[in-house]
Structure 1
């Protein structure tokens, strides 16, 4: 049957038939491993090795989640070919495959060995950028596994339940190291026993794809959540190159003692309790600072005298002050001179005779406002693209966004905690609350229909033009975005080709992947549950950084870590700790 190669498809047509292998597939459930599927993402490969990103909306995802499987070949029809998205891109390509309710998927047996089984674009450890907002793409890295930590349960203030985490240290040929923290289901997919057994005899080289950068206390690292996959001891040129480069140099895997000196006492956040605004105002910060609460509020006002954004240190995320042509962090121990712009929106609500202040930072505020801060500022200040330029442009500007003032009157159910701001206020008897997560956004209550005087007919009243009530139209606001990808084989300074009918890029010659038939994997059998006893430590981000990233509990000098939660943002300075 005639079919199209991925290099042929473009957005000007809808009649495509493709034969592709599902190289990589994951379900996005809103930052957790449970709950309804918000969308399913895939990396697809054709017989030529060309790759493309694919996405399934919730309904097709639920219908096809048990049909589509990694490592199998399918013929796919009746899909849309759209321009690739501009953030969280797993592979570089001009277009993406958008599944619909009409998309058909049919498995083609006995074809998997004729396809490449993985695709990636490696980034050196030193070239991984600092985490700033929604990253443009996922990052793929390769290195020798030098340390494998035990499983640790972690619960931040933003989570409803703890999650399994496992920290892995990677080292490149130049001796550079980086921390990768596997999260949730990715922990179960990593056979630590087998890796440790092999690491006692020979180097263990691995490629991790689909990781995200995270910063904590000025330390750059990676996190592996739903999109992360590993290729360990595969017969892949890049893995073989690292192995050959090590030569006779071999150091057994370092061990981590979870019960020896330096081990920390478990810490668990209590389940959130429901509170009214009046009950929140009566809390004792000396007793309730570490607790979480759920409350339903209607925003009554916005304080125009308070700035709705602030300069945040690029390293530690604390507040900064402008100092000449650079910025000075409020933390004297931090040497960063760069700053980003972050939301800091203070709103108020009243319950009976009590008024309380709620502070929305960063992602929480972006969800309430509906736009990222950088997108808003770039729209207002045309020609300013970098955070530094925008910071200078907005330093003396006191305007307030309509999107923020429009929050007044909206109703939310929120997960909150006591803000540490009360300690620095003159009136320490008045508490403020940091919003950790918006649990629910209530739809606005529309006014009832007004019928014409004396009209007793439902039909006449519903069709009459004399009604004084109108239902406002509600719909999403779509903002145009452009993305011009660069193929892996193109030099960095080469002008990218036009996006029209540009074929998706193929793996670079230095990152080629073998056919599935040539695959040699360390894990030839389905992975089992880890046999080692999972630690019963339930740690907050601050404690975990000391437990798994530093101190006398490990054999090497490692520090970290607050970048363990995939759906949290570290808050410091004017912000509370996550």
Structure 2
């Protein structure tokens, strides 16, 4: 087949009538783990006849059309693709452009190959590259130093295995997640006469507390002692480096991943003061004090019941607390009906009684000058339930309110209020005569 095709190095965005002849070196699905592993795209690494590489992607709404037309390792003629600038935060390979498949993109397999396109082409990251690629992806090549057991991370309901990889003269912890964690096992601990060289594609680079941590992604692929020149060179220069078994994490020890991606509380509650209802939000610091456990600890207790509201949280339904909430001018002007809880206090009877007496004072002052029946009705409502045997610690502010010894109520008869003056005296029980 004779076709006038273009090379990756000659691509620009001034034309869209390109014809490519490329090998699909790797093919994988990208998922969004924050949205219950929702499919994002079908991605690939393409190699042209000059051994240059490019990232290709099929958006999720076009995956159904192309998924059965393209296979890993095969060579294709591709037309009507769109070249877009590479995303700054996700670059499986270095390059200025990414090939995006459109609905009218055509793909045809070339079975009679007349060009030499290699099966693999890798761009390995060194130590300096990792420092410069934080929050991006890298291809790792290193000597395996340690292998851990597969463990379950309860907070994310997932599985991982940690390995220690020596890159140049430094070692890094790499977390292999889900299915890729099964690609390495403890049989590598047996060892032979040569070091074990591991290559991992599309690893995510993170920095935490000044250290670099690496995690596999949905696009990661792992190769062990692959027959390529770079692997042979590493094995010759690093003969027979043993692989050790990593110590198992203690039961109560928090993993690095749990610290990096901390799981925190956010609890929505409906509250009422007996008159109106409101919606409050409680965040991590308030919830931890209320529950007595961190969110990660609670998830471990709830290992088999992730969807059910924990009993320790449900237990607070129907109970009474005093909440300090966040109020702002913006909330009040724009009519927000959900408020953030800043603190939670237990209910104290003394505070409640003092509050009711304060309400009485305010009500009488507001109603000063109105007829006695209205004032008496307000007083009767504010003092329900009745308050008994308060000592002089309830001082002059209350005493001033009680200067009227007898008040006439149009509906309930006579209210007798006895009062003693002076410090240290007792205020007798307020009685209501129906």
Question: Which residue in 1 is equivalent to 2:226?
Answer: 234
Question: Which residue in 2 is equivalent to 1:264?
Answer: 251
Q: Name the CA shift for 1:184/1:66 in 2 (closer, same or farther; >3 Å).
A: farther
Larger Rg: 2
Asked if the contact 2:49/2:115 (under 8 Å) is kept, the reply is: no
Question: Which residue in 2 is equivalent to 1:255?
Answer: 245
Report which of the two has the higher share of helix. Answer: 2
In structure 2, stretches of 5+ residues that fail to align are 272-278, 300-306, 310-325, 347-434
Q: Name the CA shift for 1:111/1:153 in 2 (closer, same or farther; >3 Å).
A: farther
1:12 CA drift (Å): 1.5
Q: Is 1:286 the counterpart of 2:312 in the alignment?
A: no
1:53 CA drift (Å): 1.4
1:140 CA drift (Å): 2.1
1:41 CA drift (Å): 2.1
1:54 CA drift (Å): 1.3
Asked if the contact 1:186/1:225 (under 8 Å) is kept, the reply is: no
Q: Name the CA shift for 1:44/1:202 in 2 (closer, same or farther; >3 Å).
A: same
Asked if the contact 1:37/1:61 (under 8 Å) is kept, the reply is: no
Provide Cα deviations, 1:512-566, integer angstroms capped at 9, x if missing partner: xxxxxxxxxxxxxxxxxxxxxxxxxxxxxxxxxxxxxxxxxxxxxxxxxxxxxxx
SS at match of 2:118: coil
Question: Which residue in 1 is equivalent to 2:429?
Answer: none
Where in structure 2 are the equivalents of 1:56-95 lying within 5 Å?
A: 56-95=58-97
CA distance in 2, matches of 1:154, 1:146: 23
| Residue in structure 2 matching 1:224, options 204, 216, 222 | 216
SS at match of 1:37: strand
Moved more, 222-231 or 142-151: 222-231
Question: Which residue in 1 is equivalent to 2:55?
Answer: 53
1:55 CA drift (Å): 1.6
Question: Which residue in 2 is equivalent to 1:165?
Answer: 160
CA distance in 1, matches of 2:344, 2:175: 38
| Residue in structure 2 matching 1:117, options 104, 116, 119 | 119
TM-score in terms of structure 1 length: 0.45
Asked if the contact 1:277/1:350 (under 8 Å) is kept, the reply is: no
Question: Which residue in 1 is equivalent to 2:235?
Answer: 243
Question: Which residue in 1 is equivalent to 2:153?
Answer: 154
SS at match of 1:285: helix
1:127 CA drift (Å): 4.5
CA distance in 1, matches of 2:162, 2:202: 16
1:235 CA drift (Å): 2.1
Q: Which has the higher contact order (CA 8 A, sep 6+)?
A: 1
1:93 CA drift (Å): 1.7
CA distance in 1, matches of 2:112, 2:246: 44
1:82 CA drift (Å): 2.2
Q: Name the CA shift for 1:125/1:105 in 2 (closer, same or farther; >3 Å).
A: same
Q: Is 1:10 the counterpart of 2:2 in the alignment?
A: no
RMSD: 3.9
Provide Cα deviations, 1:127-183, integer angstroms capped at 9, x if missing partner: 522775xx3x42222211011111111133xx4xx1111111011453x11111111
CA distance in 1, matches of 2:133, 2:227: 32
TM-score in terms of structure 2 length: 0.58
CA distance in 1, matches of 2:280, 2:83: 50
Question: Which residue in 2 is equivalent to 1:141?
Answer: 140
Q: Is 1:195 the counterpart of 2:188 in the alignment?
A: yes
1:99 CA drift (Å): 0.7
Asked if the contact 2:143/2:198 (under 8 Å) is kept, the reply is: yes
CA distance in 2, matches of 1:122, 1:202: 21
1:100 CA drift (Å): 0.8
Q: Name the CA shift for 1:131/1:51 in 2 (closer, same or farther; >3 Å).
A: closer
Report which of the two has the higher share of strand. Answer: 2
